[in-house]
Structure 1
Amino acid sequence: MSKQPRAGGEEILECQVMWEPDGKKNTQMDRFRAAVGAACGLALENYDDLYHWSVESYSDFWAKFWKFSGIIFSRMYDEVVDTSKGIADVPEWFRGSRLNYAENLLRHEENDKVALYAAREGEEEIVKVTFEELRQQVALFAAAMRKMGVKQGDRVVGYLPNGVHAVEAMLAAASIGAIWSSTSPDFGVNGTLIQHLKEHILHGNMNSSDTLLYYTTVGWMMWNWMVSALATGAALVLYDGSPLVPTPNVLWDLVDRLGITILGTGAKWLAVLEEKDLKPMETHSLQTLHTVLSTGSPLKAQSYDYVCRCIKSSVLLGSISGGTDIISCFMGQNFSVPVYRGEIQARNLGMAVEAWNEEGKAVWGESGELVCTKPIPCQPTHFWNDENGSKYRKAYFSRFPGVWAHGDYCRINPKTGGIVMLGRSDGTLNPNGVRFGSSEIYNIVEAFEEVMDSLCVPQYNKDGEERVLLFLKMASGHAFGPDLVKSIRSAIRRGLSARHVPSVILETKGIPYTLNGKKVEVAVKQVIAGKAVEHRGAFSNPDTLDLYRDIPELRDF
């Protein structure tokens, strides 16, 4: 079996091991590896062997996992995927199959087992819903939707807090065959079930004895990811509120109260706890907790130290990374390999992920563009209102023809197989995992008569953390000042959310544009990062780029 090269150009320092598998080799990943080896006559000695087989023989991999996961279907597929087609061709997966997403999530046979716990900020009461009760409520929701005329292919949007009704409505819509969205209509749908099962069962080693709390809103992709865990028989804890109110220990309180085994959150929350010098290890039992997951932004190396030192030394700290586009992960937690300080453990099975340089060549131990070179069942099939697919192709395949470019920079360690995320490589804003476009900010800011023009770009620090910067070009006769900044912050918070509010708002005397009238965001981001900008001749006012170089207010991030 051929393997990708392990040599890299940059020196890779020896990484500190923070967690290691117990050596029993009795995880669901181990059982799957053994089953594949026996069925295919392969000597798959470790996760690395299994991973490389899964991306080289991806059709066989997904077929084997379909069987292993026990997916419920009414019609078996005729073909897993046409392997003559590449990822840019968006091949059809599991052609001819028929299944129901909701049926698979509600398949757990222990009717009296709790499926959902719902907790709200500042309230003592916790609502419990069993699997039987959840099935009944989903049926009632679905009947009501059908009575309203909802049918297969219709769109159902939920404007709901993270509670029981959100899960019931989502599963009801899915049971009908309607398309569910939760205020963010950019989630992929094809292949979501099998992809999530792979991540929960194999990578998370999740089963019916687990209780999962992922701190998320209904509008974040991680909510959809979390709800899919019902298919394993695990219980979900739905928390509606701030993770810092009434105290910064509110989630740890729930861990002890409900016996939570898997806690998921954003990297920023862990950093905030460290800043507050919280030590849950000293104030809580955390006896049931075996996994802490982090996503939304790169997890700083010092956060690994903090979790080990102040939360629980034996916990698996799984930094996971993927995207709203695929509504899942390219890489993440893994009970079969060690956790190294500052690194995501491994690339996920079936995800042919590499880091490519500007010439379109894979690099190891060097920073590069995160790409996926082979088809995956969870990629979006198309964009709405993009009849000829031009926007879709531009979004993912314009950088490297025929290869998915995800818009992230990363570095793959050739010694450990771990991945370090280095931030966004395009102009998309993604602070703390809340992904949005600059146009959302412009629509609000440029409604102010004081503002002639504006520019919204990200800035990254050495740890890969992102913050949003907003530059304002003032209209004639108006001055930049703290009152205007306060008004703009309030307008963005009111019109979008608190998470959209830029960290820094500054005045600028000029905003660069291309010759065809587009704001130049990516080039400004490069200038702020101290990088040279090529092809300045493509800009109508290239001298304005220099206004963004070495700005004093941006030096200490």
Structure 2
Amino acid sequence: MTGHEQPGLLWTPTPESARGTRAADFARWVGRRRGLDFGDPPDYDTLWRWSVEHPDQFWADLAGWSRVLPGVPDDEVLTDRRMPGAVWFPGRRLNYAEQALRWDLAGPALVVVDEDHAPVEVSWAQLRGQVGAFAATLRRLGVRAGDRVAGYLPNVPEAVVAFLGAASIGAVWSSCAPDFGTRAVLDRFAQIEPVVLVSIDGYRFNGREHDRRDVVAELRTALPGLRATIAVPRLHPAEVPAGTLPWAEAVREPQEPVFEPLPFDHPLWIVYSSGTTGLPKGIVHGHGGIVLEERKFVGLHLDVGPGDRFFWYASTAWIMWNISVSALLTGATVILYDGAPTYPDLDAQFALAASTGMTYLGTSAGYLTACERAGLRPGKTRDLSRLSGVGSTGSPLPAAAYRWVYDAVKQDVVLGSTSGGTDVATAFIGASPLLPVTVGELQRPLLGVAAAAWDDDGRPVVGEVGELVVTEPMPSMPLYFWNDADGRRYREAYFEPWPGVWRHGDWLEVTERGTCIITGRSDSTLNRGGVRMGTADIYAAVEAIPAVLDCVVLGVEEPDGGYWMPLFVQLTPGAQLTDELVAEIKTAIRRTASPRHVPDQVIAVPGVPHTRTGKRLEVPLKRLFQGVDPAKAVNKGAVDDEALVDHYIGLAQRRMSREAGRGHVPAPGA
């Protein structure tokens, strides 16, 4: 392959490296079983085409090759292909926790690290024993299949044990990170009415302690369905809140877990949408779909399995935590880190890779970009000899960061920039060790993902930006939304304007060579560092301040990898945007919504434009600040006050001029 055919080539697999991958092993297994020839080494595009044209065969073979559900006939895999409403593996039973804990390996199951201590290893036997003990405690508390168990926890081993213990008995897990304020947590947990809360008393982040005892007390009062609160000590190990069960008691008697055999589509966990248009939507995924999807994503695409040490920097509020824990399904060791991403220094994640013998480092595009801009060279200062893969998600990875990884980290890693979502607990577009890595591009749609870019008329486009759509069902698509009995909210979220076709909300370009470019969100979700939050949480915090009459917040992805998050505020008559008011606004957001989503700037405006049905004009305003022609970005006829739109056009144009003067010209948007 010449440089002209594949511009910006950074890495390419050798025939030997490709043949040694799990994806190649799977392709050979399928070829022998079905008499198919995918090539030697396998040709990814041929394998992908078969996987989306014959989804029943692909998922049957993945279930067989992975020994999750061997021997299922093709006609009993996908008995209804409608979206939503696809029916997968009817009548088959399994349990996520049993699949995750089935391994009997010499290496550890978990490596636990925080800001204060050296790595601690947890063996597979120890993990099974604690999961069994916690599950027995849940049973003693009367928890049954279908009941909800909630965790207000950081990325600590107790979260993994509690999740697997709940899953083992068929209870439904849901978690929030302790940097979320009371209201943000209740917006999520109050919907699902948990019967057990597992809560931390505080956490350490960036060298500072954050006490959460008051928040936990408020949660216990506001969740009347709780039968028990299990208290995990972190900052105050000698203190057990009255009326709670100490964690040590909950896992006091290690024992082998007893796994409930569950239907393929039994609920596993509830994760949450960003809440752009109201309360966050509770997204329910099933045991079977998640098991198969993560065996595919982590195993075949990230090439992770027994002997590997897998890490992705994530909080329990981000789907990447769920995916990271799911590396246990492949037999890999999972590295848990509880702390700030850059503590005590910017290269903290590479230091962690060196100290733990990490083989796969997953992180955010923002982190890699920050390292590149700081001129770090961790490949020279850290022992990264075991590192074979680097993953990036959360936002598009800039071209300069691609080059930096191969120049400053390691020349023989597989760099995988991925685009997926909480919605499906996986990636739509991402990496494969069978494909080369090129600057600024994602390699391909994943196996089993019939992804394409469509124009406004629902036609596939190549070489231009369109909406990311998926035209065939995936087993990890949501079973349903919580409290959405007729499925209306689910259909509205993904299946409009094209019924039966998943519209994800990302801008996608498929190149003539088949590679993919994600240019950002087509909706208004705030997506900072991979942690998504809806604008509703920000508005609730800000509008409680008497001086603020109205506001609108934007998350603007920039072509150089930056992310600008301004908050525009309309003040009450006579109020001024003083430094004190800006501080009050930021403090309110930090305390009641999320410290990760404090705006970069607070800007006073004469008003906030709305649609004629009363919705803030978030997406059109965002597109203005991304450089889109105002005539294409905003339909003034649909706005309640056209003059306000002109004010924002002026703000966007002035910002464009300032950035141009600094040599940072935002590219025109789609």
Same fold (TM over 0.5): yes
Is the aligned partner of 1:466 residue 2:566?
no
Q: Secondary structure at the match of 1:119?
A: strand
Say whether the 8 Å CA contact 2:372–2:400 is kept in structure 1.
no
Q: Secondary structure at the match of 2:518?
A: strand
Is the aligned partner of 1:34 residue 2:28?
yes
Matching residue of 1:208: 306
Amino acid at match of 2:501: V
Task: Please report how far the alpha carbon of residue 450 of structure 1 lies from its aligned counterpart in structure 2 after TM superposition.
Answer: 0.6
Q: How does 1:154-553 map to 2 (within 5 A)?
A: 154-183=147-176, 185-186=271-272, 187-190=283-286, 191-415=289-513, 417-463=514-560, 465-529=562-626, 530-531=628-629, 532=631, 533=633, 535-551=635-651, 552-553=654-655
Matching residue of 1:21: 13
Task: Please report how far the alpha carbon of residue 385 of structure 1 lies from its aligned counterpart in structure 2 after TM superposition.
Answer: 1.8
Distance 1:507 1:40 in 2: 65
Matching residue of 2:91: 96
Say whether the 8 Å CA contact 2:6–2:438 is kept in structure 1.
no
Is the aligned partner of 1:48 residue 2:48?
no
Say whether the 8 Å CA contact 1:75–1:98 is kept in structure 2.
no
Say whether the 8 Å CA contact 1:292–1:315 is kept in structure 2.
yes
Matching residue of 1:6: none
Q: How does 1:69-88 map to 2 (within 5 A)?
A: 69-71=66-68, 79-83=76-80, 85-87=81-83
**Please, what TM-score do these two structures have when normalized by structure 1?**
0.93
Distance 2:346 2:619 in 1: 37
- Which segment is superposed worse, 395-404 or 353-362? 395-404
Say whether the 8 Å CA contact 1:325–1:379 is kept in structure 2.
yes
Deviations 1:403-458 (A, max 9, x none): 1110000111221x221110000122212211111111110101111111111122
Say whether the 8 Å CA contact 1:154–1:179 is kept in structure 2.
yes
Task: Please report how far the alpha carbon of residue 115 of structure 1 lies from its aligned counterpart in structure 2 after TM superposition.
Answer: 0.6
Distance 1:512 1:264 in 2: 39
**Please, what TM-score do these two structures have when normalized by structure 2?**
0.78
Task: Please report how far the alpha carbon of residue 72 of structure 1 lies from its aligned counterpart in structure 2 after TM superposition.
Answer: 5.8
Distance 2:621 2:347 in 1: 40
Is the aligned partner of 1:59 residue 2:56?
yes
Say whether the 8 Å CA contact 2:60–2:72 is kept in structure 1.
no
Say whether the 8 Å CA contact 2:390–2:413 is kept in structure 1.
yes
Q: Secondary structure at the match of 2:94?
A: coil
Structure 2: unaligned runs, 5 residues or longer: 177-187, 189-270, 273-282, 660-665
Q: How does 1:98-177 map to 2 (within 5 A)?
A: 98-110=93-105, 112-121=106-115, 123-177=116-170
**Distance change (3 Å), C-alpha of 1:124 and 1:74:** farther
- Which segment is superposed worse, 520-529 or 163-172? 520-529
Task: Please report how far the alpha carbon of residue 535 of structure 1 lies from its aligned counterpart in structure 2 after TM superposition.
Answer: 4.0
- Which segment is superposed worse, 420-429 or 135-144? 420-429
Task: Please report how far the alpha carbon of residue 108 of structure 1 lies from its aligned counterpart in structure 2 after TM superposition.
Answer: 0.6
Distance 1:232 1:389 in 2: 33
Amino acid at match of 1:512: P
Say whether the 8 Å CA contact 1:260–1:288 is kept in structure 2.
yes
Distance 2:291 2:327 in 1: 10
What percentage of residue pairs aligned between the two structures are identical? Answer: 40
Task: Please report how far the alpha carbon of residue 124 of structure 1 lies from its aligned counterpart in structure 2 after TM superposition.
Answer: 3.3
Task: Please report how far the alpha carbon of residue 22 of structure 1 lies from its aligned counterpart in structure 2 after TM superposition.
Answer: 2.2
Say whether the 8 Å CA contact 1:188–1:378 is kept in structure 2.
no
Distance 2:44 2:73 in 1: 29
Distance 2:403 2:49 in 1: 31
**Distance change (3 Å), C-alpha of 1:78 and 1:157:** farther
Say whether the 8 Å CA contact 1:59–1:80 is kept in structure 2.
yes
Structure 1: unaligned runs, 5 residues or longer: 1-11
Say whether the 8 Å CA contact 1:397–1:405 is kept in structure 2.
yes
Q: Secondary structure at the match of 1:405?
A: strand
Task: Please report how far the alpha carbon of residue 275 of structure 1 lies from its aligned counterpart in structure 2 after TM superposition.
Answer: 2.2
Q: Secondary structure at the match of 2:149?
A: strand
Distance 1:389 1:464 in 2: 36
Which aligned segments of 4 or more residues in structure 1 are displaced greater than 4 angstroms? 72-78
Distance 1:424 1:133 in 2: 42
RMSD, aligned CA:
2.0
Task: Please report how far the alpha carbon of residue 58 of structure 1 lies from its aligned counterpart in structure 2 after TM superposition.
Answer: 0.7
Say whether the 8 Å CA contact 1:470–1:506 is kept in structure 2.
yes
Task: Please report how far the alpha carbon of residue 527 of structure 1 lies from its aligned counterpart in structure 2 after TM superposition.
Answer: 2.9
Amino acid at match of 2:492: K
Task: Please report how far the alpha carbon of residue 236 of structure 1 lies from its aligned counterpart in structure 2 after TM superposition.
Answer: 1.0
Q: Secondary structure at the match of 1:317?
A: strand
Say whether the 8 Å CA contact 1:452–1:474 is kept in structure 2.
yes
Amino acid at match of 2:603: L
Deviations 1:485-529 (A, max 9, x none): 121111111112221111222111121122222222222223333
Task: Please report how far the alpha carbon of residue 276 of structure 1 lies from its aligned counterpart in structure 2 after TM superposition.
Answer: 2.0
Distance 2:9 2:635 in 1: 44
Q: Secondary structure at the match of 1:322?
A: strand
- Which segment is superposed worse, 245-254 or 259-268? 245-254
Say whether the 8 Å CA contact 1:74–1:99 is kept in structure 2.
no
Distance 2:639 2:599 in 1: 26
